[in-house]
Structure 1
Amino acid sequence: MRPRDLAELVRLPAALTAPGDSLAGAAAAGWPHGHRTWTLPVSSTLLYWAGMALNDYADRDLDKHERPERPIPSGRVTPGEALALAAGLTGAGLCVAAAGGGRRALRVAVPLAATVWTYDLLAKQTAAGPACMAAARGLDVLLGAGGQLRAAAVPSLAVTVHTAAVTSLSRGEVHGSSENAGRIALAGTAAAAATAAVPHRPAGRVSALAGAALAAGYAAVVGRSQLEASRSPDAGTVRRATGTGVRGVILLQSALAARSGALGVAAGLLSAGPIARMASKVVSPT
């Protein structure tokens, strides 16, 4: 498997959207894992890559007709290679979670991995698909919380709502969607932004203002593309809105980190946005 084929299979640029989940959860919970917190974004990224490889394995027959340029239908990667890679990345993600957070992290990482596999192999083409994907990203936020699930409930909810909105709209990437689907996605983005703007009292006024400002920026960037999709729900517009939504979670994660007082983390996450946008011009994130 060539490096370029591997990058396409795992949607390499989109992986930049994964680390901020567990960091937002850890910030809200007061950094319960201490200096080992850095391992959890690595675990998140490995599990994200696993899900992308498994996605293409599960969709290999459908992609022959709808996306023949993808690595498996184009013959550059075999189904067996994609499945083996997904299994290996899943195992690696669980091992890293255990190394960094011990049993507390594994209590979330194992259900997270199970949800990823359930989505790709069973739920994706059903009505439960968006909810299943949203649950996976919500659990990813809780991965950083060290068992303090109530403390990380707000960031988990915000990311869950965002993911449900983007996933629902993404179903129209190939054949187009409907105006109503775009409006529903837009409503989800507004709800996620409002949730992220809720002040985290221990963090202070500056953090609250920064979080609210970043939440507003997230709503503007992602909401604008979804508004366009609601007005012109053709496949191209929906695909662009989906790509913006996938990358836009970085802005949401930054807002969530800022509201918890982690302004440095918020700034660091923001720097990933332009990188993801540029990389998406080379390798598609969807």
Structure 2
Amino acid sequence: MTTSHPDAGTTGRAPRGAAPHLFAWAELLRLPALFTVPGDALAGAAAGGRPGPRTLLAVGCSLCLYGAGMALNDWADQAEDAVERPRRPLPSGRVRPAAALAAAGALTAAGLGLAARAGGRALTVAVPLAATVWAYDLVLKRTPAGPAAMAVARGLDLLLGAAVSGRGVRPALPSAAALATHTLAVTAVSRGETRGGSPAAPLAALAATGALTWALTRGPASARAPRGAAHIVGVLTAAYSATSARPLLHAVLNPSPPLTQRAVGGGIRAMIPLQAALTARSGALTSALLTAALAPAARRFEKKVSVT
């Protein structure tokens, strides 16, 4: 999920009128992908009770830890990127490696600080989440456990939102499992971004998308869901399925690096309607619509900065 996307703005050149230094940091932190983060906490809070003021602290923690993971990822991949992706911020010299590592540490500390302010239960989830992020980037990414570690991180991120809600994390476990399943599939596909590969990974991801689509359309999961929720869930689920499935099908038919990269980008973008559908199923329609509204912003920024 963090390799390059050549046809999605990885030229290393800032758009006209943009400050080059700020643009380099936007690339490093994968600015468009940050829009896929708030929906984790909102979906978790909806499943665990109702989004409230402390949900904003959970969202802030999630954004900090996600940004830390992006900066740490590029710091850990310096040697590989110098050969395969020399236009990235670190190998191109636009961001110093020491600055990227310092940013990862500072963002991690800030995220844990926000979790502590949100309460003991939030910190109990945030600590293993931060540990998983660092373990993935420094150790697990290139091992068979890499996709599973990424899936665990995303599931924990959703449970972070549930931890600050009234009912705790247990009611949010099905939503966390759904998001983790999608993340596992997309991360497995991402391993063929630069070199291509067999159609097995995108085919498995396509099957996962179909299974999640079927599960989401079985009706609102919560008795608290208001009238009309089923229709909204259906629309959001259709958006999820279309965003994820189409590029995956192309990658199945031709698992070349460009089509695999598009499939990964589609999988990342599909997280937003998936989060929104999960939130709507829990009865929090306002939060679901707010989550869905992040998709156009992510798409707009993706035209200038790569999402992967």
Bin of the TM-score, shorter chain as denominator length: over 0.9
Partner of 1:127: 144
Instruction: Give the letter for the 1:153 counterpart.
Output: L
1:111-260 alignment, distance < 5 Å: 111-146=128-163, 148-198=168-218, 199-202=220-223, 203-260=225-282
Residue 204 of structure 1, CA deviation: 4.4
How big is the shift at 1:137?
Answer: 0.2
Q: What is the match of residue 73 of structure 1? A: 91
8 Å CA contact retained: 2:222, 2:283: no
Pick from 267, 287, 290: which aligns with 1:268? 290
Alpha-carbon spacing, 1:253–1:171, altered in 2? closer, same or farther (3 Å) = same
Report the equivalent of 1:17. 36
Cα deviation digits, residues 145-178 of structure 1 (max 9, x gap): 1272220012101110010011110111111121
SS of the residue 2:122 aligns to = helix
CA distance in 1, matches of 2:212, 2:41: 17
Contact 2:243 2:269 in 1 (8 A): no
Residue in structure 1 matched with residue 47 of structure 2 by the alignment: 28
Match of 1:43 among 61, 65, 69: 61
In the alignment, the residues of structure 1 paired with residue 205 and residue 149 of structure 2 have an alpha-carbon distance, to the nearest angstrom, of 16
Give 3-state SS (helix, strand or coil) of 2:246's partner.
helix
* Structure 1: gaps spanning 5 or more residues: none
Distance 2:271 2:252 in 1: 20
Task: For 1:62 and 1:239, locate their aligned partners in 2 and report how far apart those are by CA, in whole Å.
Answer: 17
Alignment partners' CA distance in 1, 2:285 and 2:72: 35
The CA distance in 1 between the partners of 2:283 and 2:172, in whole Å, is 13
Asked if the contact 1:57/1:79 (under 8 Å) is kept, the reply is yes
CA offsets, 1:80-101, max 9 Å, x none? 11111000000001111111x2
Asked if the contact 1:72/1:79 (under 8 Å) is kept, the reply is: yes
Report the equivalent of 2:122: 105
Deviation at 1:188, TM superposition (A): 1.7
Cα deviation, residue 216, structure 1 = 2.7
Q: Which amino acid aligns with 1:148?
A: G
**Letter of the structure 2 residue corresponding to residue 177 of structure 1:** G
Contact 1:22 1:143 in 2 (8 A): yes
Counterpart residue identity of residue 107, structure 1: T
Equivalent residue of 2:293, what SS? helix
If the length of structure 1 is used for normalisation, what is the TM-score? 0.95
Per-residue CA shift, 1:75-129, capped at 9, x if unaligned? 1112211111000000001111111x21010000000000000100000001110
Percent of paired sites with the same residue: 51
Match of 1:8 among 3, 23, 27: 27
Q: Distance in 2 between matches of 1:94 and 1:195?
A: 33
SS across alignment from 1:107: helix
Deviation at 1:233, TM superposition (A): 0.6
With 144-153 and 127-136 compared, the bigger mean Cα shift is at 144-153
Q: How many residues align?
A: 284
Counterpart position of 2:305: 283
CA root-mean-square deviation: 1.4
Provide the C-alpha distance between the structure 1 equivalents of 2:81 and 2:226, rounded to a whole number of angstroms. Answer: 49
Q: Is the 8 A contact 1:175 1:235 kept in 2?
A: yes
Deviation at 1:205, TM superposition (A): 4.8
Inter-partner Cα distance in structure 2 for 1:55 and 1:196: 32
